[in-house]
Amino acid sequence: MPDIGVTVIGDKVDRDEEVLTPEALDFVAGLHRAFAATRDDLLRRRAERRASGKLDFLPETAKVRESDWRVADAPPALTDRRVEITGPTERKMAINALNSGAKVWLADLEDANTPHWENVVSGQVNLYDAARGTIEFTSPEGKHYALKDDVERPAIVVRPRGWHLDERHLEIDGRPAVGALVDFGLHFFHNASLGKPYYYLPKMESHLEARLWNDVFTAAEEQLGVRHGTVRATVLIETIPAAFEMEEILYELREHASGLNAGRWDYLFSIIKYFRDAGADFVLPDRNSITMTAPFMRAYTELLVRTCHKRGAFAMGGMAAFIPNRRDPEVTERALAKVRDDKTREATDGFDGSWVAHPDLVPVCREIFDVQFGSKSNQLDRQRDDVSVTAAQLLDFKATGGEATRAGVESAVDVGLRYLVSWLSGNGAAAIHNLMEDAATAEISRSQLWQWVHNEVVLSDGTPVTAGLVREVLARTKASLSGEHVDLAAELFEQVALSEEFADFLTVPAYAKIP
C-alpha cells in the first residue's frame, strides 16, 4: 500500500480488509486533515463558554430565529419514523433490530458501544452487510439469524461517536484520528452509493458544531460525487447549551437535516456537568426521581417539538429506560406500562415518533403513534404555537422536587460500577436491575455523586454526602462483584466520581484502558 499517512495501530479484526481499504482510509484521512483543527477549536470553546457563566438564547443569531426558512423535505425512507429501535452494531443484535418491525434502526457506534477496535471495525462490517441485506449470523449455540422477508426493513440511521472522542487505533499524520470522522467516514465511503447515508449526531453543544458536521457532509458528498443533500442528519438535543440553539442547529444543517431528538439521559448529565459547582439551586435530586414531567424537562421537550415543526423537521422522542424481561412477566408488564405512558405523552405533545431499546417494545410504541397519526405518517403539520419557553424555564431546576437519598447514593455507585464492568468487557449497553444502562446513564450516576460531594449535599436521612461515604459504598459494592474488570472499573469510577478535576466524559479515561 502506498504511504498515505495513515497507520492502523489496532489488531487484526475479521474482514477488516473489506472496510479498511486504502481508498476508504484515504477518504477518512482527507476528512480528518480538513476538519480536525476546527474540531479541536470547537472543543476548546465548550470550556470557554462554560467559564463565561453565560447561557441564554444567542443575540447574534436572532435573525435566524426570526426569519422564515425550512429544512429540506424528508426523503421517502424517513417520512415515517413512528418507532425507532436503538442498539449496538453487534451482528446478532443488528439482525434482530432489522427484523423488529421498527421504521428505523439507530445503529449505535456511540453510547451503546464500547469503542474497542474490534467493535469499531466489526460494526462497519456489519453495517456494510446490513445495508446490502446480506447480513447473517450463526450463534455459538447453532441458532441461525438472517433477515426476514415478511418484515418491513427499517431505515438504518448510524450514530457516530461525539466530537470529543479520538480513535487511537488509526493514526493520521502521526496523531489519533477524530473518532466521529472515522465512524462517519468509513460508513459513508462504503454505503453512500446505496443512497441512504443517514446519521444521528450526538452530544453537540452549539450551532458551530452543527456547521462543522454540515461542512463534513458537503465535502464528503462532493468527493464521492454524491448529490448534495443526500446525507440526512437527526441531531440529538442532549446538552443544556444546545437547548438554547435548536433553531440555529437546524438552520446550519438545513439542507441535510431530518430532525431533532430529545436525548433525555445525556441532557440530564449535561445539566449536572454544566452546573456541577454552581450551588444549591442547581443540585439535582436522585436520578430516579427526575421524570420527563419535571418542569424543566417539559420546557425542553415542548420547545423541541415547537422548533422542529416550525421548520419542517421531525421531532423525535427519547428512551424510556424500562426494559422487558422475557423470563419475568411482572417486569415486562411494568416496562410496557411505563413505556406506554412515556410514548403516549410524547405522541400527544406532537412528537413524530420515538425510541425503544428492545424489540419487544416496538409494538407498544407503534400502536400509540398509529392512534395519534391516524392515516398520516407523522404530525409535522401540527404547529405548537401555544408553546413559549423562556431561558428561565429551561434553567429552573428548583421546581423539580425530589430528594437526594441514601438509596440514590447506593444506586448511583452500583449502576455506575456495574456499567463500567460491562463497558470494559466490550458491551456498552447493559440491562441492570431491568433498566437499560448505557454511557449516558452511567454519566448521570457518577456526575451526580460528584455534584453532591462538591455541594455538601445532606441526604434525606441527615447524612452528609462526602467522598468518604462514596468510597465506603464503592468498596462494599466492589466486594459484591466478581470478574476480571471489577478492580479497574472501581478505580475508574472513583476517578470520575470523586477526583477534584471533573472529567468531561467518563469514556475518555476509560478508553485509555481498553485494547
- β-partners of residue 257 are 233
Contact flag: residue 359 with ligand ACO (CB under 6 A):
yes
Angle formed at CA 178 by CA 174 and CA 181, multiple of 5 degrees? 125
Nearest to 233 by CA among 263, 210, 267, 264: 210
| CA triple 13-17-22, angle to 5 deg | 130
Residues 206-265 that bind ligand ACO (CB under 6 A): 265
Question: Which grid coordinates are listed for 181?
Answer: 470522522
**Count of other CB atoms within 10 angstroms of residue 415:** 22
430 binds ligand ACO (CB under 6 A): yes
Of 96, 223, 460, 495, which lies in the binding site for ligand ACO, with binding defined by CB under 6 A? Answer: 96
Which residues fall within 8 angstroms of residue 107, CB to CB, at 6 or more apart? 87, 89, 94, 97, 123, 127, 130, 156, 157, 158, 159
Q: Which stretch binds ligand O=CC(=O)O (CB under 6 A): 213-221, 259-267, 339-347, 505-513?
A: 259-267
User: If we measure between CA atoms, which residue out of 154, 152, 158, 130 comes closest to residue 78?
Assistant: 154
- Rule CB under 5 A: say whether 266 interacts with Mg ion: yes
d(CA 234, CA 210): 11
User: Residue 87 binds which one of ligand ACO, Mg ion, ligand O=CC(=O)O, none, with CB within 5 to 8 A depending on kind?
Assistant: ligand ACO
Could you say whether residue 268 binds Mg ion (CB under 5 A)? no
Cell numbers at 369, concatenated: 403513534
The DSSP element (H or E) to which 436 belongs, if any, is strand 435-437
CB of 97 to ligand ACO, least distance (A): 4
Specify the stretch interacting with ligand O=CC(=O)O by CB under 6 A; choose among 38-46, 262-270, 286-294, 462-470. Answer: 262-270
Provide CB contacts within 8 A for 179, sequence distance 6+.
Answer: 115, 160, 161, 162, 165, 166, 167
Q: What does each C-alpha distance from 9 to 90, 169, 172 come to in angstroms?
A: 22, 5, 11
Rounded to a whole number of angstroms, the CA Rg of the chain reads 22
> Segment 217-246, which members bind ligand O=CC(=O)O (CB under 6 A)?
236, 238
Q: Which long-range contacts (CB under 8 A, 24 or more apart) does 476-484 make?
A: 477/410, 477/413, 477/414, 477/417, 478/417, 481/417, 481/418, 481/421, 483/421, 483/425, 484/425
Report which residue's Cβ sits closest to ligand ACO.
87
Name the minimum Å distance from CB 427 to ligand ACO: 8
Per-residue contact flags (x/-) with ligand ACO for residues 261 to 290, judged by CB under 6 A = ----x-------------------------
Alpha carbons 488 and 486: distance in angstroms, whole number: 6
Closest to Mg ion by CB, 167 vs 266, is 266
The b-or-e profile of 169-203 (16+ CB within 10 A means b, else e) is bbbbeeebbbbbbbbbbbbbbbbbeeebbbbbbbb
- C-beta of 25 vs 429, nearer to Mg ion: 429
Task: Please name which of 200, 180, 256, 212 lies closest in space to residue 28, comparing C-alpha atoms.
Answer: 180
Q: Which is nearer to ligand ACO, 429 or 470 (CB)?
A: 429
Q: Where are the beta strands (DSSP E) in 175-321?
A: 175-178, 198-201, 232-237, 257-262, 314-316
Spatial contact of 433 and 256, defined as CB atoms under 8 Å apart: no
User: Is there a catalytic annotation at residue 504?
Assistant: no
Residue 259 is a binding residue for ligand O=CC(=O)O (CB under 6 A): no
Choice between 10 and 202, CB closer to ligand ACO: 202
Site for ligand O=CC(=O)O in 288-347 (CB under 6 A): 318-319
Here's the x/- map for Mg ion, 246-265, by CB under 5 A: it reads as -----------------x--
Provide the minimum distance between the beta carbon of 55 and ligand ACO in the complex, in angstroms, as a whole number. 23
The closest of 213, 265, 214, 267 to 238, measured between CA atoms, is: 267
* Rounded least distance, CB 511 to ligand ACO, Å: 17
Phi, psi of 396 (to 5 degrees): -90, 85
- Closer of 467 and 481 to ligand ACO (Cβ): 481
Q: Which region among 61-69, 211-219, 258-266, 477-485 touches ligand O=CC(=O)O (by CB under 6 A)?
A: 258-266
Q: C-alpha dihedral over 204, 206, 210, 216, to 10 degrees? A: -80
**Residue 412, C-alpha cell as written in the block:** 448511583
Q: How far is the CB of 461 from ligand ACO (least distance, A)?
A: 30
The nearest distance, CB 263 to ligand O=CC(=O)O, in angstroms, is 3
Residues of this chain, 97-116, that bind ligand ACO according to CB under 6 A: 97, 108, 111-112
Using the contact rule CB under 6 A, the part of the chain among 11-19, 54-62, 117-125, 264-272 near ligand O=CC(=O)O is: 264-272
Q: Which amino acid is at 317?
A: G
CB of 287 to ligand ACO, least distance (A): 12
Per rule CB under 6 A, is residue 440 in the interface with ligand O=CC(=O)O?
A: yes
Annotated catalytic residue within 349, 352, 438, 446: 438
- Asked if 438 is an active-site residue, the reply is yes
- CA dist list (Å): 485 to 150, 417, 514: 42, 10, 11
Shortest Cβ distance from residue 111 to ligand O=CC(=O)O (Å)? 6
Name the active-site residue from 159, 254, 264, 311.
159
Q: How many binding residues for ligand O=CC(=O)O (CB under 6 A)?
A: 10
Binding site for ligand ACO (CB under 6 A): 85-87, 92-93, 96-97, 108, 111-112, 265, 319, 323, 326, 357-359, 429-431, 436, 438, 440
Q: Which residues bind Mg ion (CB under 5 A)?
A: 238, 263, 266, 440
Catalytic residues: 159, 438
Interacting residue ranges for ligand O=CC(=O)O, rule: CB under 6 A? 111, 236, 238, 263-266, 318-319, 440
